[in-house]
Amino acid sequence: MFFDEAKINVKAGDGGDGCVSFRREKYVPLGGPNGGDGGKGGNVYLAANPHLNTLIGFKRRVHFKAKRGGHGKGKGQKGRQGDDVLVEVPPGTVVRDAGTGEFVADLMEEGQRALVAQGGQGGRGNAAFATSTNQAPRIAERGAPGQERWLYLELKLIADVGIVGVPNAGKSTLLSAVSAARPKIAAYPFTTLEPNLGVVALGDYTSFVMADIPGLIEGAHAGAGLGHEFLRHIERTRMIIHLLDGASADPLGDYESINEELALFDSELARKPQLVVLNKMDLPQAQELWSSVGQAMKAQGQGAMSISAVTGEGIKEMLRTVAEMLASLPPPLHPPQSWGGKRGGEEPATTEIKVFRPVEDDKALTITWEDDAWQVRGAEVERIAAMTNWDLDEAVQRFQRIADAIGLKAALRKAGVQTGDTVRIGEAELEWQ
């Protein structure tokens, strides 16, 4: 089965804790603080791998977690950085936040990657807090937690040409006739249950990728038949071969119906360049229909050809026409030929690494009354609370000063906090005094 949707969980590594330590050596009085910082947690990246063409790997594995950073040590030793995790996906994968639906990245090119979960920063050791007025600080930070989120992955195949038409129009037969692809072919509707890709190579060193899309019927945009599930794969194509069934009672009616479904799903699909092709010219019925079909297309200013995918009649002429149409269109965002990886020692299509960083409003602050406690939410304040070592008096005092500086105390008073109320900030639970 073809898997083009997946939901995964990514968790970046937590930062390592800072260390409280003092230099203690013989004959070295007042050695001072030398606690090292914790290491940064590992990031989680998604990367486009041209050797993949399905998301089936995420059926077996859903959770991806990077390593946490090492803790700081005495003698100013910093903790090691946590190892990153690289999750490979097929080119054409669109990434969205599963909770909010927010767009995260569109991985189109080989070598492109997206930062989807950022590792937590390491906590500072007490050496970092030494000042002229506080020469022996007994304070260190805990490591910040790494980002965690659920992501929705959606694969949209990358092809130059998409073949659309009603069920049994001969799309799979045509793809098998012009490429090395071997899709399932049978004489019943909806034989094709998943898109198929094939590379078409012409004699003049011209090649392009063709995709066979499962048959469309009326109502496909709303979920009828198989069309709703696979219509998105046509969005990446540069042009469309609209294959008409020469054995149909009304091929022109089929043509109008399919175009309407494309427009209802996405108005951009209806504006893609099309080549209308009447198939099954080996049948007398198709031969009789060709004259009326050709005239109707000419009246609409639409190019039309006739072929027989079974006998090969007209296929070479059709492929040359397709190649000419592609040559006149804007270049693709991503060269589909690289789906097969490097050829003959060629370098990858691009070695550039592009990183998409999650955008957050660090300063945003919300306070609500939940479960008999004040719940404080906000990226900055939650990170500060998570990095505070509540066992150290100096760390608690520092948090109080920061809370005052960022307006947390004033916001709680405005919300109506009373002495003795519980205040929750992330995992920390405090009592208002």
Domain ranges of the chain: 1-158+338-359, 161-331, 366-431
* pLDDT interval class at 183 (50, 70, 90): low
The CATH T-level fold of domain 366-431 is GMP Synthetase; Chain A, domain 3 (3.30.300)
Q: Tell me what the mean pLDDT of segment 214-222 comes to.
A: 51
Q: Which CATH number fits domain 1-158+338-359: 2.70.210.12, 3.30.2420.10, 2.60.120.20, 3.40.50.300?
A: 2.70.210.12
pLDDT band at 65; cut points 50, 70, 90: very high
Inter-residue contact 393 to 386 (CB < 8 Å): no
Helix H, strand E, coil C: the string for 216-251 is CCCCHHHCCCCHHHHHHHHCCCCEEEEEEECCCCCH
DSSP string, 38-80: PPPPPPEEEEE-TT----THHHH--EEEPPPPPPPBTTTBPPP
Tell me if domain 1-158+338-359 and domain 161-331 are identical in fold.
no
How far apart are the C-alpha atoms of 161 and 326, rounded to whole Å? 9
Q: Which two tokens stand for residue 145?
A: 């937690």
In this prediction the pTM is 0.70
Q: How far apart are CA 346 and CA 339, in angstroms?
A: 13
**Residue 267: per-residue pLDDT:** 78
**Which one has a higher pLDDT value, 330 or 42?**
42
Residue 97 above 50 pLDDT?
yes
The residue among 395 and 231 whose pLDDT is bigger is 395
Which of 25-34, 213-222, 229-238, 306-315 is predicted with the least confidence, judged by mean pLDDT? 213-222
In this model, does residue 221 exceed pLDDT 50? no
Q: Domain 161-331 carries which CATH code?
A: 3.40.50.300
The pLDDT confidence band at residue 192, using thresholds 50, 70 and 90, is very low
